[in-house]
Chain A
């Protein structure tokens, strides 16, 4: 009789092999190990807990369905992260189609507002506790348009090159560069204004 595998101590590649053969328990263990990371990526792009939970769960379902295609070139977590990012991009495209851009957003898109932003120095988050830092960054990220946030997430968090971001987002490298530039400048400005608000 085959010995029951010890899921909690097995390495990812071993669990992946078992899951590829249809072992659902092995897959559950993989979900338990990486669910926070996959959820975090969805949350960083969507900025909504419920949407991020739903979409990350959808990503896991897709992961199970496509598991036979996973060859192990990247780590399992990286492979799953790509799936959730693609789902987020699809979701954001749908949201964009159903949204009417305001003049302000169009101005943001072209970098019109950026030209008036003063250079922020020194660092507005100096001497902040970790929790405070996160809160402030979260508030600033929430105020960015999804195009700017997505470019920033893909560049800073996923470390994708301009070319790859352009491909994923279906835009030119020039657009990626200007969106990223605007997003960083706007972030700096928002963080500074949040600091000013807190000092009042």
Chain B
């Protein structure tokens, strides 16, 4: 008997087949000893489990003890009511750091876009002695000064610039 036939037999026992198919399987069981034996075994196990389920099972704890933990759970849940109702998707947890990073990127971008070397409207002055660059924007009435830290300027050029802003 192949697997498909066995599963068909089981579907018949579980009332998961049409009435036409049920008649067909019933006649097969009647003439095939192997199918009949398997059918009896499956039915026997099914009946046993149903009987087992009807046997009483009792909570090992006393009524008071069992209830006290439920009551504590209810009280705890009521103290923090929004946790289950407002279940946020996993990606929402990333929003704050991503938003922070985006704001920083925007800030850096706008700073770079006002880079004195590329800004023709403003005035730029680069000091030869202290590794600082000063930019003045007449339009915004604002002065921006980039100051390279001594340590960084010595070994990494202008990679890490500290900067101050003046109005």
Contacts and interface: CB of A to CB of B under 8 A. Distances in A.
Interface of A: 24, 28, 31-32, 35-36, 39-40, 43-44, 49, 53, 56-58, 60-61, 64-65, 111, 119-121, 123, 125, 130, 133-134, 137, 152, 155-157, 161-162, 177-178, 180-181, 184-185, 187-188, 191
Contacts of B50: 156-157
B70 A61 contact: yes
B48 A61 contact: no
Given A43-B57, A188-B41, A137 B67 contact: no
27 contacts: A24-B74, A32-B67, A35-B66, A36-B56, A36-B57, A36-B59, A53-B59, A56-B59, A58-B73, A65-B77, A119-B34, A120-B44, A121-B37, A121-B40, A121-B41, A123-B48, A133-B48, A133-B55, A137-B48, A137-B52, A156-B46, A156-B50, A162-B11, A162-B16, A181-B42, A184-B41, A187-B45
Interface stretch (B2-10, B89-97, B107-115, B136-144): B2-10
A125 B50 CA distance: 14
B69 interface: yes
Most interface-central of A43, A64, A156, A162 (chain B CB within 10 A): A156
A134 B52 contact: yes
Q: Tell me what chain B mostly uses at the interface: helix, strand, loop, or mixed.
A: helix
B134 to A, nearest CB: 59
A162 B59 contact: no
B53 interface: yes
Most interface-central of B16, B49, B53, B55 (chain A CB within 10 A): B49
Interface residues of B, number: 39
Contact of B53 (A60, A121, A157, A178): A157
Contact of A188 (B44, B51, B67): B44
A124 B50 CA distance: 16
Contacts of B38: 119
Given A31-B67, A187-B49, 16 more contacts: A24-B74, A36-B59, A39-B57, A61-B74, A64-B74, A119-B38, A120-B41, A121-B37, A121-B40, A123-B44, A123-B48, A162-B14, A177-B7, A180-B14, A181-B42, A187-B48
Contacts of B100: none
B5 to A, nearest CB: 11
A56 B59 CA distance: 10
A112 to B, nearest CB: 11
Given A125-B48, A187-B49, A61 B55 contact: no
B6 to A, nearest CB: 6
A152 B44 contact: no
B165 interface: no
A101 B15 CA distance: 33
B73 A57 contact: yes
A131 B130 CA distance: 92
B74 A137 contact: no
B61 interface: yes
B71 interface: yes
Contacts of B59: 35-36, 39, 53, 56
B66 to A, nearest CB: 6
B37 A119 contact: yes
A130 B48 CA distance: 11
A64 B10 CA distance: 39
